[in-house]
């Protein structure tokens, strides 16, 4: 056996033919989304205003397995199956008895796991006759993924990009432009919502929530336009399960099953994608001791410090209210470099899983995250996105704990994306300018006063 890190690869025909829908196996069904405008449970018709019907069907489906369309699988073949890597170099560096595996989703053309859902969503939209898709993007990964997917299916793509990232990451914007998308810094003057925010705070750096509100307003004011979301919703989690399903096959090839599965948590899509196929075994009883860990930044710890309540998916209350862990939709996290983790809530599915103690959460600080990222890059040669580095930090912590306890653990984490567009953040870290940003309990309390009133 090689003493160096090594990839475990599947062949094209091993790309899963179905996604796994955890709604089939939840201990309790999800609580329904609530439309605060009608004062009633949100209906499929409500959702069909902004999403194509097949996506809405997936959103509410309780079928355990859902077929991946052949055309989507064909496009996946550009980069899938993605490699699973045994990080022996890192293990050696840590001098740990733990085995560390990671799935590299950074190999997708857009650089992150987001392409798994972007391709599927563009496909269903094309089939339904959509000619324009509007969306928001935080760090720019979702925007890049959707821009590429829309280009492949000949759909116009309009992207509202959170201003702090627009300024921090001009090259993400350039990539979206090359893919042919229209990109606006959010809050923008394109929409009523954006103009309102700017009127009260001209220097507002934006948030995912505001950008979502702008994209939804864009959809409602254009013909044949639909909205597309890169995280949070059930259908996005569904599409991402290809990560965990492939990883499971790859672990089987080397006769392994993880004791601990780790992924970072923004809205919850890469955590869902990696962990749900394993949590299925935990729910069904064959792996009762599996631990699944969602890693949050200390600037935005919704699972660890939020409340489980109905809240809007966006900043201005356009979307239905979902039952989830939230810091309040008006909570504005500080501008950390892991822009993709600055979302006020955790997806309803992840929230439910955590509520039922089928997964746990941990909080890590920005400095220790970059320290782990640099260690990882030196050992493995792969530069992670700052978001993914949250998972790396936790994997390293667990490996060191195993060392202390003198036991061998098998740890699997998701490397959700590469950090080639985040080099200015790395430069700042290396020159000692990265600060830890903790959330303010007072601001969360204030935001929680704005939770919608829901009586079902």
Ligand X SMILES: *Cc1c(COP(=O)(O)O)cnc(C)c1O
Residues that bind ligand X (CB under 6 A): 112, 114, 139, 141-142, 231, 264-271, 340-341, 385, 387-388, 416-417
Identity of the residue, 146 or 454, whose beta carbon is nearer to ligand X in the bound complex: 146
In the bound state with ligand X, the residue whose beta carbon lies nearer, of 108 and 213, is 108
Beta strand 410-415 with 307-312 is: unpaired
As measured in angstroms, the least distance from the Cβ of 425 to ligand X is: 13
How far apart CA 456 and CA 41 sit, in angstroms, is: 8
Structure tokens at 306: 């939020």
Pinpoint the alpha helices (H) of 163-260: 163-168, 170-178, 192-200, 208-220, 234-253
Structure tokens that stand for 54 in this block: 């097949």
Angstrom distances, CA of residue 395 to CA of 85, 142, 237, 282: 14, 25, 22, 20
Which of 215, 240, 274 has the alpha carbon at shortest distance from 119? 240
Contacts of 357 (CB under 8 A, 6+ apart): none
Nearest approach, Cβ of residue 271 and ligand X (Å): 6
What residues pair up with 226 in beta bridges, in sequence order?
133
Q: Which residue, 16 or 419, is less far from ligand X as judged by CB?
A: 419
Provide the minimum distance between the beta carbon of 276 and ligand X in the complex, in angstroms, as a whole number: 12
Least separation in angstroms between residue 125's CB and ligand X is 19
Q: How far is the CB of 404 from ligand X (least distance, A)?
A: 29
DSSP letter string, 314-373? SSSS-SPEEEEEES-TT------S-GGG--SB--HHHHHHHHTTSSEEEEE-HHHHHHHH
CA distance 167 to 171: 10
Our CB check for ligand X shows the closer of 96 and 315 to be 315
Closer Cβ to ligand X, 75 or 338, answer by number: 338
CB 391 within 8 A of CB 361: no
Q: Tell me how far, at minimum, the Cβ of 389 lies from ligand X, in Å.
A: 9
Q: Which is nearer to ligand X, 118 or 402 (CB)?
A: 118
Q: Least Å distance between CB 117 and ligand X?
A: 9
Question: Distances in Å between the alpha carbon of 284 and those of 24, 200, 234, 261, 289?
Answer: 11, 51, 20, 17, 12
Q: How far is the CB of 393 from ligand X (least distance, A)?
A: 13
Q: Identify which of residues 260 and 349 has a Cβ nearer to ligand X in the complex.
A: 349
Q: Between 117 and 330, name the residue whose CB sits nearer to ligand X.
A: 117
Omega prior to 423 cis, within 30 of 0: no
Question: What is the rounded distance in angstroms from the CA atom of residue 168 to the CA atom of residue 334?
Answer: 14
Tokens for 177? 């432009």
């Amino acid at each position: 056996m090689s003493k160096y890190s090594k990839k475990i690869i599947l062949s094209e025909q091993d790309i899963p033919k179905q996604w796994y829908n955890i709604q089939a196996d939840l201990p309790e069904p999800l609580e329904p989304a609530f439309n605060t405008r009608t004062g009633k449970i949100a209906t499929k018709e409500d959702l069909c205003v902004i999403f194509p019907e097949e996506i809405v069907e997936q959103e509410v489906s309780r079928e355990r397995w859902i077929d991946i369309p052949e055309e989507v699988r064909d496009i996946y073949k550009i980069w899938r199956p993605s490699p699973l890597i045994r990080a022996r170099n890192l293990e050696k560096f840590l001098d740990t008895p733990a085995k560390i595996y990671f799935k590299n989703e950074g190999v997708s053309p857009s650089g992150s796991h987001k392409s798994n859902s972007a391709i599927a969503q563009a496909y269903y939209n094309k089939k339904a006759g959509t000619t324009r898709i509007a969306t928001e993007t935080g760090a720019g990964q979702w925007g890049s993924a959707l821009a590429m997917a829309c280009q492949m299916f000949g759909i116009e793509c309009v992207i509202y990009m959170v201003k702090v990232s627009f300024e921090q990451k001009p090259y993400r914007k350039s990539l979206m432009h090359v893919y042919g998308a229209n990109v606006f810094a959010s809050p923008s003057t394109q929409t009523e919502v954006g103009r309102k925010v700017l009127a009260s705070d001209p220097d507002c750096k934006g948030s995912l929530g505001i950008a979502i509100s702008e994209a939804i307003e864009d959809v409602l004011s254009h013909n044949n336009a639909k909205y597309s979301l890169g995280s949070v919703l059930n259908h996005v989690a569904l599409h991402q399960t290809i990560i965990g399903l492939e990883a499971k096959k790859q672990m089987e090839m080397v006769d392994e099953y993880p004791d601990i599965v780790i992924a970072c948590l923004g809205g919850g899509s890469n955590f869902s994608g990696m962990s749900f196929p394993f949590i299925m075994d935990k729910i069904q009883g064959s792996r009762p001791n599996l631990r699944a860990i969602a890693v949050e930044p200390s600037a935005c710890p919704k699972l660890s410090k939020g409340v489980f309540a109905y809240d809007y998916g966006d900043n201005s209350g356009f979307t239905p209210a979902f039952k989830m862990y939230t810091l309040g939709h008006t909570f504005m996290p500080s501008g950390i470099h892991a822009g993709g983790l600055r979302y006020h809530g955790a997806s309803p599915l992840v929230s439910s899983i955590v509520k039922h103690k089928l997964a746990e959460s941990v909080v890590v600080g920005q400095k220790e995250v970059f320290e782990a990222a640099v260690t990882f890059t030196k050992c493995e040669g792969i530069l992670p996105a700052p978001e993914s580095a949250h998972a790396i930090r936790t994997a390293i912590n667990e490996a060191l704990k195993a060392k202390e306890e003198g036991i061998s653990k098998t740890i699997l984490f998701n490397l959700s994306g590469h950090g080639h567009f985040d080099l200015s953040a790395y430069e700042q870290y290396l020159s000692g300018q990265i600060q830890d940003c903790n959330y303010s309990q007072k601001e969360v309390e204030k935001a929680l006063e704005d939770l919608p009133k829901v009586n079902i």
